């Protein structure tokens, strides 16, 4: 069962074309797997589950789940869409790793409000960008 990203929220964040042939149970498994991956990185720094996650956190968990959905149907290295999903996955893993560091980003809005730990801006390694990505062949992940 999802804690941070509901199935409805996930569906609202992705282009329906991406998931039109995927059963809800498979989508839920992808979300659960993405949350598990996320938790595995942050468990040493935060008390889990987080109480109020930021929209950034939800977006990055969504990017992981999309990558897992792509894995269910098979990755096509020649597809610009699949390359985009891979890139978003890799960027999200970098963001989550940064969030798990001592001076990383806030993941829990309650901890942020209390002034607990951390600064709010991630330090991105040179060559990586987290800017919004535009539509590629009719499929993209929304930035909401």
pLDDT per residue as tens digits for the range 40-86: 999 988 889 988 888 999 999 999 999 999 998 889 989 999 999 99
CA proximity to 70, closest of 35, 19, 34, 2: 19
Q: What is the pLDDT of residue 45?
A: 84
Residue 144 located in a structural domain: no
Q: Residue 116: is its pLDDT beyond 80?
A: no
Asked whether residue 93 is assigned to any structural domain, the reply reads yes
Q: What is the model's pTM? A: 0.74
Query: Which domain does 104 fall in, by range?
Result: 7-113
Write down the pLDDT at residue 141. 44
Helix (H, G, I), strand (E, B) or coil at 8: helix
Cβ(132)–Cβ(1) below 8 Å = no
Within a domain: 96: yes
Q: What total number of domains does the chain contain?
A: 1
Give the residue-averaged pLDDT of 110-132.
Answer: 43
In the predicted model, what is the mean pLDDT of residues 122-140?
41
Three-state DSSP state, 52: coil
Is residue 7's pLDDT more than 80? yes
pLDDT at 92: 95
Q: Assess if residue 72 is contained within a domain.
A: yes
Tokens of 25: 């149970």
């Amino acid at each position: 069962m999802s804690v941070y990203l509901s199935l409805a929220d996930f569906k609202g964040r992705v282009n329906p074309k991406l998931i039109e042939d995927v059963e809800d149970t498979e989508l839920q498994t992808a979300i659960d797997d993405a949350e598990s991956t996320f938790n595995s990185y942050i468990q040493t720094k935060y008390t889990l589950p987080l109480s109020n996650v930021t929209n950034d956190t939800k977006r990055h968990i969504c990017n992981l789940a999309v990558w897992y959905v792509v894995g269910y149907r098979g990755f096509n290295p020649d597809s610009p869409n699949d390359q985009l999903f891979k890139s978003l996955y890799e960027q999200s893993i970098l963001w989550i790793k940064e969030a798990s560091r001592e001076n990383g980003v806030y993941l829990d809005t309650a901890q942020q409000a209390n002034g607990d730990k951390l600064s709010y801006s991630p330090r991105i390694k040179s060559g990586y960008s987290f800017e919004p990505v535009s539509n590629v062949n009719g499929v993209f992940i929304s930035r909401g």
